[in-house]
Amino acid sequence: MSAIDTVKAGLAAVEAGDFEKLDSLIADDYVFAGPVAEPLGKREYMGLQAALVAAMPNWKFNAADFKEIGDIVTVILQVTGTQTGELSLPVPGVPKIPGSGKKVSLPGELSTFTVKDGKLVRLDITSTPGGGLLGILSQLGVPMG
């Protein structure tokens, strides 16, 4: 499987809510950095994605413009979803957010995946105004400050 295929499989697993599949695609020392206060490890990342997909069953990454150079895959991710369920993020200080029916549409964000030995080992997302977790919370009407 090419590095792009691995990335596409990981994105598809999240969108489908197939966290068993995602677990098999992510290295144990996985790091997620960029749109979060502190980089997350594998378990924290999977918990965050599971909470987001549970709250927004139609979660989509809308991935476009894949480029592969060796172990590095860049892609533009433009997250969309509708919050129909409670959003209970595994993040300190963030309250549970009851289902609202609100649609979320983030700006496209340059995302860089590192793939080694057929596993996702790192995801870095370039901070974009209105993007990331803060963008999601803002669009859901969570007071920030």
Whether 83 contacts 96, CB under 8 Å? no
Q: Is the pLDDT of residue 145 over 70?
A: no
Whether 4 contacts 66, CB under 8 Å? yes
Relative orientation angle of helices 3-16 and 42-55, to the nearest 10 degrees: 50
Number of domains present in the structure of the chain? 1
**Sequence-distant (≥ 6) Cβ neighbours of residue 132 within 8 angstroms:** 34, 35, 36, 106, 109, 125
In a domain, 100, yes or no: yes
In a domain, 83, yes or no: yes
For 14, 85, 101, 114, 119, the CA distances from 21, given in Å and listed in that order, are: 9, 23, 28, 18, 12
In a domain, 132, yes or no: yes
What's the pTM? 0.93
Beta strands in 1-145 (DSSP E): 26-33, 64-69, 72-77, 80-83, 102-105, 109-116, 119-125
pLDDT-derived band at 144, boundaries 50, 70, 90: low
Q: Is the pLDDT of residue 35 over 90?
A: no
Q: What percent of the chain has pLDDT over 70?
A: 99
Q: Is the pLDDT of residue 78 over 90?
A: yes
Predicted local confidence at residue 6, as pLDDT: 97
In a domain, 144, yes or no: no
- Give pLDDT tens digits for 43-54: 999 999 999 999
CATH number at residue 19: 3.10.450.50
Please give the average per-residue pLDDT across 27-34, as a whole number: 94
How many Å apart are CA 73 and CA 89, to the nearest integer? 27
In a domain, 47, yes or no: yes
Report angle CA 122, 145, 15 to the nearest 5 degrees.
Answer: 35
Residue at token pair 């129909």:
84
Residue at token pair 């378990």:
43
When computed from its CA atoms, the radius of gyration of the chain, rounded to whole angstroms, is 14
In a domain, 79, yes or no: yes
- Give pLDDT tens digits for 90-108: 877 788 999 999 999 999 9
Handedness of CA 126, 75, 50, 132 (dihedral sign): positive
In a domain, 88, yes or no: yes
Host domain of residue 47:
3-139
